[in-house]
Structure 1
Amino acid sequence: MLDNDASNNNCNPHKLPLGDLKFALSGQDGVKRHVPALDVHWVRREKPFGSYICLMSSYGKLKTAAALEEWTFTANNCRQDLEFLLGLSQHEFWSYMVYEESAMAAIVTFLQRANPYYRQPDVSDNSAQDKEIAQANQLYAQLLRLVVRLVMRLCTAKESASEWITPQQHSSLLYSNYLISVPLLFDLAIAVGDSEPRNVALLSQIFDSVLRIQPEYKKDLKEAVAFYENAFLSMQIQVENEGCEGAGGGVPIDGDLETPYDDVVLFALDCAYTLRILLQLRPELVETIEELRLVQSIANFYDLTVPMLYKNIYMVNPQANSLRWLNETRQQFLGVVRDVISSQLQGGRGQQLVELLQECLSAQTFVVDYQRQYPLEHDMQMLLNRCPNVKNYKVDFVVSGYQKAVSTCLSGVMADELDSSRDVSFDGDEEEDSTPTSPLPQATSNGSTRDIDLEVSAVLDVLPDLGMGFIRSLLTRYENSEQAIAAILDDNLPPDLAEMDRQKVYVPPDPQDKLQSQTGVRHFNVCDGDRYDVLTQDKPECIIKQGKGLPGGPRNAEQLLDDKTDVKKLKERYQQYAMVEESTHDGDGVEYDDEYDDSYEALNEGQAPPVSLLRARMQAASHLASSHAAAYEIQDQEEDDDDSSDSKSEKGTVSRGGADFCENPEVIRARYQQRQMAKYGQRGSSGAQQSAAVSGAPKGQGQTQQTQRSRGQKEAHKSSRANHNRKAGAAFKRSKGMMS
């Protein structure tokens, strides 16, 4: 039997520490033995401690019906176990913590599965369930208080004057037995949160106690902060792998999540909140973050992974809650960067701050959101006042870079670029946010539209055994055909596409359905809906024919034969050639000299000479031209003899040797008039006499014998003169260069 039990007030009369304290025990045989205060002997509970289960079925949804009853039963058992641990004496409590694994596992399990402080369960509108929900929330609050009390008892070395532990033993117990760890502290921070000032004070007290008891936790804390870089890389890999394996190697909270990316988003959200609370509790970690370049990692994650998550989630489920959680993640990461910049600004580390902002300029999405949330103009003005040694041109470069990124960014929230009807809040609230954020990257870098048919052909060239329906579904998830082919060859398809029939055919949409939805009229003609359809086009590109014939055309064969349209066109065409522009300029610049054609005005249609005379006249003209040329040569020779000095130069430059290349028109006209007078002058008078002889005396007075002879000769030879000899007239016209 135990001599000095917990009920005895004189169990530790010498007030020894836990490591030196021993208790005398008497066995059934009456033999006494001394048992240390920290020993497995004090673990007398046969039933192991139970494991806690999560209150929410999925993120933000409270369990109902049978699931809620199961949770209530498990939570009541956990509450009894936690109250049992708190009711133990100091040496028994530490014995259970050290030697009973299920005792510490109950605390760790609860913190891992606790409700995050930033996401409370949704309250149902059903009034019949209000009482059950209120009881569940009350029970959960009790469990959280008990777990916090147990953690604080682990951090307490002296409970009373007779129950205390030396600092060395206390530090060894916590660190060597993993009773307190950095992951446990992170889970505790997320469970308690910073929604109230007293919660922040409580967490600060716990963190200060742990770091004071065991300084090695500071080193672990820095390693935990360094883990965030690997966490960002893990989330990026999971997004590229369609989120099939869970971020960080974990498993989803529940099996009824809306998209395969919910686990990745929840992991990112938890990291963001944890890091922000950690900086609030331990401001000295800013130096560690600067050394690890964690802000640059956050900016790269913000610029690369977050837009990809938006795009993939929206393709799977446009109404998924993950879009709202992702906005909360962005807001928290911006808050983390803001805390780091504020700490550098207050600490006077201006050079480090400017270099940090310059390195983040490459992440345009992060730059745009940070500038819109926390403009740099005020911070840079404070920086110049605190740190006058910082170069002004560097500050101006950073400020102009952030401002330019905002001015050149397209407006609209990421999810709004995909669906303008859905308003996604920037700060994680349900209400609409008026601050626009960075846009989602386009499918193509140059902004051009994709040619799906061309990409389908490219995939079929490499994988001809696939169906067009499967390929089209695949291309909607990837930016180009190269990525789709790589995903198929690597067997790295999303779950929904991996289970799809790869021989699925593509049935193009019926144009008639689209036409019917637009016009309300359904036709069955292959030409319906085209540019010639008078039923759907207000101005069809065709001639509307009514009745026989075409509009403006002949109605019968008679009108067709009497059509003189082409003749009128030709007449108008040749009338344009007859219009000669007369110039008003005098001198050498005259383009047209009317005197050149005056000689032909005397030639009427009935005055053409006979063929024999025409031939003789042409021979005479040729002989006269040659005589004139000979005369010109003789005159040139005489001029050359008179002026011997000029003859040599004239012979080298001007040598006629024959007729002129182009004779003066005035000379030609004068010569023509002389020929006319010489040949037709006398004939004109005799012609008048002949005309009088033919006419004779007035009728009734009798005619002379000469008159009758002249009339007979005229009748015999009338076919060779005047209008009767058209052949001679035509020849005359051709000789003058006129067209008949």
Structure 2
Amino acid sequence: MLDNDSSNNNCNPQQLPLGKLKFALSGQDGVKRHVPALDEHWVRREKPFGSYICLMSSYCKLKTAAALEEWTFTANNCRQDMEFLLSLSQHEFWSYMVYEESAMAAIVTFLQRANPYYRQADVSDNSAQDKEIAQANKLYGQLLRLVVRLILRLCTAKESPSEWISPQQHSSLLYSNYLISVPLLFDLAIAVGDAEPRNVALLTRIFDSVLRIQPEYQKDLKEAVAFYESAFLSMQIQVENEGCEGAGGGAPIEGDLETPYDDVVLFALDCAYTLRLLLHLRPELVETIEELRLVQSIANFYDLTVPMLYKNIYMVNPQANSLRWLNETRQQFLGVVRDVISSQLTGGRGQQLVELLQECLSAQTFVVDYQRQYPLEHDMQTLLNRCPNIKNYKVDFVVSGYQKAVSSCPSGVMAEELDGSPEESFDADEEEEELQSANVSPLPQATSGSSRDIDLEVSAVLDVMPDLGMGFIRDVLTRYENSEQAIAAILDDNLPPDLAAMDRQKVYVPPDPQDKQQSQTGIRHYNVCDGDRYDVLTQDKPACIIKQGKGLPGGPRNAEQLLDDKRDVKQLKERYQQYAMVEESNHDDGEYDDEYDDSYEALNEGQAPPVSLLRARMQAASAPVATSSHSAAYETQDQEEDDDYSTDSKSDKAAPRGGADFCENPEVIRARYQQRQMAKYGQRAGGGAVPQSSHTAGVTGAPKGQGQTQQTQRNRGHKEANKSSRANHNRKAGAAFKRSKGMMS
């Protein structure tokens, strides 16, 4: 008990702060002692503070019947506990907050399990049950107001002239004892919300007070914003790690949950609302978001995880409420990006804004939805007016990229090719209100099966697991984008619940093309070619030859006609006759004909003798008796040819030419060459016998039996002595002749 000398009306007459204030107490033995104002001695309550339970059994569904009665009993106890804390004096209140863990745990538990401000159940006073729910909502409102008053008291340093705390001690008590933390502020923001202006003013006051009392909360707030990147990655892993036991550790499909992805959607929705509310309360966090590149993370999450989440939920339950919650998540994330872009636009940070929009171009789903809700044309025009230094081609590139993404995006909702649509399961009026409030375009359809080769992917899965049925594999492939993901899910035994319960030996029965053909034409055929491009009954111009009678149209009627067909030979003959026809024209004016090819004309003067002369030489070489006079004659003739050629060349060079001639007319050269050939080989060119020279006659001599002259005997001896050097066919002389003419062999 307090000492009688101390006045109960004024426990602190000297108006000392809480850290220096002490109270004099006298025990049962009469001994007085001084107890600090902030001490565990003042925690006299033996019963711990109760823990709050959530009013909602599941998202947007309030508890009813016995569960509602249980909640009412727990909520009344919590209300009494909070009223008790508020009724305490300052030093007792702070002693309970610091030394009684259950007191602060009661506040934290309530905020963690509070109803989110953006989802409140609609209640009408039409029945007894609705009246119970209305009373429960009223009680919940009282609890929320009490919790807010407790947090405001924690943020208040001076309650009266005699009850106050020094700023240093106040800051230390809040931060060191974790009485207020950033997660608690986030939960408080979601519980109070910004539905009314007074709520926003209240939250702004609390945030300002906390950051003013302890500046370290500013650093914690930035770290909390940085956590969102890890949250996005965690949600993506949970969505990819689907299974019978829930997505990424989530609750299984039992009780009030409709799909194993409900917890992921709720977490994403809470993150989106919290982040947007933080930007309203603390606009300076925009700089932190820019440093952390959080907008790019939101765009990637929007483009990768949201469509996958939408598709998986629709596959499990097309009428799940989580599809609508996911649309709200999209709306809030777009609002966050819009707030960041508006802040950059207002602050004149044009370069950062253009770079941000360029980096987000890779997320096509995000780009389409953002462009449809917030067209960039107006923002870019405002940006050019405020930041004239921004280059126009960068702005045009960004605007054209966003516009092109919208124009190339197919209209319609995701999974529109499936039977039904998620919008059909909602109430029409409620869905219209959702679309008007969200003003967000539906997501484009995920990868459609038309662009995939399902048969090829089925073969790939069968190569790895041949014991599975084709029907089961096809059903699995409809849930995944490729065969690799399907194989990984089967091997990890991480399939969706409906696929996990399916018979893995399910047989695939392909659809009968006759049914489709019959529905289109009304005629049912029984031919393997019915309905294809060769079907003359369904195609006006079939890709085939209609054969009537024997043979093909225009073909031979029998084997004899087939063998007598020489059309191909005639075509080849006509083709090669065109190469033999060379048109020659006489130019009276003496001009050079450019069409004449004289590329090899220069070699004519160095060619071998005419064919008739060569034939005569071969006949002479094959004669039964050969003499050395032939070789000598040939050598003499070759020497004469060389002399004539050199003489003709000199005469050609010395011949006078007109100044207008660039080169001599090839016709004149050919005529002169022909004259030389005729003058030299004219007598032997006719193909007759070659007259024997003196050398040849000397070797041959007279007929046998008539005697030989002395000169003949001498010539024969010379030939016999030198025949080894010249050979029988004059090979060395022929080779030397070829080399002299440039004909290497």
TM-score, shorter chain, exceeding 0.5: yes
In 2 relative to 1, CA 585–281 (structure 1 residues): closer, same or farther, beyond 3 Å? same
Partner Cα separation in structure 2 for residue 186 and residue 557 of structure 1: 96
Query: C-alpha offsets along residues 190-227 of structure 1, whole Å, 9 cap, x if unaligned?
Result: 00000000000000000000000000000000000000
Match of 1:474 in 2: 476
- 598-607 vs 689-698, which deviates more? 689-698
In 2 relative to 1, CA 308–725 (structure 1 residues): closer, same or farther, beyond 3 Å? closer
Displacement of 1:494 in angstroms is 2.8
Displacement of 1:448 in angstroms is 3.2
Partner Cα separation in structure 1 for residue 696 and residue 646 of structure 2: 62
Query: C-alpha offsets along residues 288-311 of structure 1, whole Å, 9 cap, x if unaligned?
Result: 011001111111111111111111
In 2 relative to 1, CA 127–612 (structure 1 residues): closer, same or farther, beyond 3 Å? same
In 2 relative to 1, CA 471–7 (structure 1 residues): closer, same or farther, beyond 3 Å? farther
Query: C-alpha offsets along residues 395-450 of structure 1, whole Å, 9 cap, x if unaligned?
Result: 111111111111121112336565664438999993338999667566658x7354
In 2 relative to 1, CA 417–84 (structure 1 residues): closer, same or farther, beyond 3 Å? farther
Displacement of 1:364 in angstroms is 1.1
In 2 relative to 1, CA 564–65 (structure 1 residues): closer, same or farther, beyond 3 Å? farther
In structure 2, runs of 5+ residues without a counterpart are: none
Displacement of 1:357 in angstroms is 0.9
Partner Cα separation in structure 1 for residue 363 and residue 607 of structure 2: 101
- 522-531 vs 501-510, which deviates more? 522-531
- 243-252 vs 196-205, which deviates more? 243-252
Which secondary structure does the structure 1 equivalent of 2:402 belong to?
A: helix
Partner Cα separation in structure 2 for residue 90 and residue 613 of structure 1: 140
In structure 1, runs of 5+ residues without a counterpart are: none
- 125-134 vs 174-183, which deviates more? 125-134
In 2 relative to 1, CA 458–126 (structure 1 residues): closer, same or farther, beyond 3 Å? farther
Query: C-alpha offsets along residues 312-332 of structure 1, whole Å, 9 cap, x if unaligned?
Result: 111111111111111111111
Partner Cα separation in structure 2 for residue 685 and residue 163 of structure 1: 147
Match of 1:697 in 2: 702
Partner Cα separation in structure 2 for residue 595 and residue 174 of structure 1: 106
- 575-584 vs 358-367, which deviates more? 575-584
Displacement of 1:463 in angstroms is 0.8
- 211-220 vs 567-576, which deviates more? 567-576
- 477-486 vs 75-84, which deviates more? 477-486
Match of 2:548 in 1: 546
Q: Percent identity?
A: 90
In 2 relative to 1, CA 57–305 (structure 1 residues): closer, same or farther, beyond 3 Å? same
Q: Is the CA contact (8 Å cut-off) linking 1:286 and 1:343 kept in structure 2?
A: yes
Q: Under a length normalisation based on structure 2, what TM-score does the superposition of the two structures give?
A: 0.67
In 2 relative to 1, CA 547–635 (structure 1 residues): closer, same or farther, beyond 3 Å? closer
Displacement of 1:468 in angstroms is 3.8
1:89-488 map, 5 Å:
89-123=89-123, 127-242=127-242, 255-414=255-414, 416=416, 418=418, 421-423=421-423, 430-432=430-432, 448-488=450-490
Displacement of 1:703 in angstroms is 99
Q: Is the CA contact (8 Å cut-off) linking 1:475 and 1:481 kept in structure 2?
A: yes
- 292-301 vs 540-549, which deviates more? 540-549
Displacement of 1:512 in angstroms is 11
- 3-12 vs 540-549, which deviates more? 540-549
Which secondary structure does the structure 1 equivalent of 2:57 belong to?
A: strand
Out of 726, 734, 740, the position equivalent to 2:739 is: 734
Partner Cα separation in structure 2 for residue 390 and residue 602 of structure 1: 73
Q: Is the CA contact (8 Å cut-off) linking 1:323 and 1:424 kept in structure 2?
A: no
Match of 1:706 in 2: 711
Displacement of 1:284 in angstroms is 0.4
Displacement of 1:108 in angstroms is 0.6
- Rg (Cα) greater in structure: 1
Which secondary structure does the structure 2 equivalent of 1:287 belong to?
A: helix
- 637-646 vs 22-31, which deviates more? 637-646
Partner Cα separation in structure 2 for residue 206 and residue 734 of structure 1: 111
Q: Is the CA contact (8 Å cut-off) linking 1:368 and 1:437 kept in structure 2?
A: no
- 147-156 vs 7-16, which deviates more? 7-16
Displacement of 1:377 in angstroms is 1.1
In 2 relative to 1, CA 426–306 (structure 1 residues): closer, same or farther, beyond 3 Å? farther
Partner Cα separation in structure 1 for residue 712 and residue 132 of structure 2: 151
In 2 relative to 1, CA 56–655 (structure 1 residues): closer, same or farther, beyond 3 Å? same
- 386-395 vs 664-673, which deviates more? 664-673
Displacement of 1:275 in angstroms is 0.4
- 699-708 vs 470-479, which deviates more? 699-708
Q: Is the CA contact (8 Å cut-off) linking 1:16 and 1:162 kept in structure 2?
A: yes
Query: C-alpha offsets along residues 488-522 of structure 1, whole Å, 9 cap, x if unaligned?
Result: 22333234434444345557789999999999999
- 6-15 vs 260-269, which deviates more? 6-15
Match of 1:661 in 2: 662
Q: Is the CA contact (8 Å cut-off) linking 1:2 and 1:25 kept in structure 2?
A: yes
- 203-212 vs 392-401, which deviates more? 392-401
Q: How many equivalent residue pairs?
A: 734
Q: Is the CA contact (8 Å cut-off) linking 1:426 and 1:433 kept in structure 2?
A: no
Q: Is the CA contact (8 Å cut-off) linking 2:606 and 2:741 kept in structure 1?
A: no
In 2 relative to 1, CA 695–503 (structure 1 residues): closer, same or farther, beyond 3 Å? closer
Q: Is the CA contact (8 Å cut-off) linking 2:698 and 2:711 kept in structure 1?
A: yes
Q: Is the CA contact (8 Å cut-off) linking 1:693 and 1:706 kept in structure 2?
A: yes
Aligned CA RMSD, in angstroms, stands at: 15.3
Displacement of 1:481 in angstroms is 2.3
Partner Cα separation in structure 1 for residue 722 and residue 169 of structure 2: 160
- 673-682 vs 376-385, which deviates more? 673-682
In 2 relative to 1, CA 709–669 (structure 1 residues): closer, same or farther, beyond 3 Å? farther
Query: C-alpha offsets along residues 454-486 of structure 1, whole Å, 9 cap, x if unaligned?
Result: 533432221122234432332221123222112
Query: C-alpha offsets along residues 319-354 of structure 1, whole Å, 9 cap, x if unaligned?
Result: 111111111111111111111111111111111111
- 450-459 vs 421-430, which deviates more? 421-430
Q: Is the CA contact (8 Å cut-off) linking 1:61 and 1:122 kept in structure 2?
A: no
Q: Is the CA contact (8 Å cut-off) linking 1:313 and 1:320 kept in structure 2?
A: yes
Q: Is the CA contact (8 Å cut-off) linking 1:158 and 1:165 kept in structure 2?
A: yes
- 506-515 vs 151-160, which deviates more? 506-515
Q: Is the CA contact (8 Å cut-off) linking 2:298 and 2:333 kept in structure 1?
A: yes
In 2 relative to 1, CA 379–561 (structure 1 residues): closer, same or farther, beyond 3 Å? closer
Displacement of 1:383 in angstroms is 1.0
In 2 relative to 1, CA 666–383 (structure 1 residues): closer, same or farther, beyond 3 Å? closer
1:54-69 map, 5 Å:
54-69=54-69
Displacement of 1:261 in angstroms is 1.1
Partner Cα separation in structure 2 for residue 194 and residue 227 of structure 1: 23
Partner Cα separation in structure 1 for residue 51 and residue 708 of structure 2: 160
Displacement of 1:528 in angstroms is 14
- 351-360 vs 418-427, which deviates more? 418-427
Q: Is the CA contact (8 Å cut-off) linking 2:607 and 2:741 kept in structure 1?
A: no
Q: Is the CA contact (8 Å cut-off) linking 1:324 and 1:425 kept in structure 2?
A: no
- 120-129 vs 431-440, which deviates more? 431-440
Partner Cα separation in structure 1 for residue 55 and residue 394 of structure 2: 52
In 2 relative to 1, CA 573–420 (structure 1 residues): closer, same or farther, beyond 3 Å? farther
Query: C-alpha offsets along residues 648-703 of structure 1, whole Å, 9 cap, x if unaligned?
Result: 9999x999999999999999999999999999999999999999999999999999
In 2 relative to 1, CA 419–19 (structure 1 residues): closer, same or farther, beyond 3 Å? farther
Q: Is the CA contact (8 Å cut-off) linking 1:241 and 1:494 kept in structure 2?
A: no
- 142-151 vs 122-131, which deviates more? 122-131
Partner Cα separation in structure 2 for residue 76 and residue 518 of structure 1: 70
In 2 relative to 1, CA 421–31 (structure 1 residues): closer, same or farther, beyond 3 Å? same
Displacement of 1:168 in angstroms is 0.5
Query: C-alpha offsets along residues 228-256 of structure 1, whole Å, 9 cap, x if unaligned?
Result: 11111111111111277778877699942
Q: Is the CA contact (8 Å cut-off) linking 1:253 and 1:263 kept in structure 2?
A: no
Displacement of 1:551 in angstroms is 25
Displacement of 1:162 in angstroms is 0.7
Q: Is the CA contact (8 Å cut-off) linking 2:55 and 2:63 kept in structure 1?
A: yes
Which secondary structure does the structure 2 equivalent of 1:574 belong to?
A: helix
In 2 relative to 1, CA 278–48 (structure 1 residues): closer, same or farther, beyond 3 Å? same
In 2 relative to 1, CA 612–483 (structure 1 residues): closer, same or farther, beyond 3 Å? closer
In 2 relative to 1, CA 184–577 (structure 1 residues): closer, same or farther, beyond 3 Å? closer
In 2 relative to 1, CA 632–21 (structure 1 residues): closer, same or farther, beyond 3 Å? closer
Query: C-alpha offsets along residues 250-288 of structure 1, whole Å, 9 cap, x if unaligned?
Result: 769994211111111111110000000000000000000
Displacement of 1:114 in angstroms is 0.6
Displacement of 1:41 in angstroms is 1.1
In 2 relative to 1, CA 381–420 (structure 1 residues): closer, same or farther, beyond 3 Å? farther
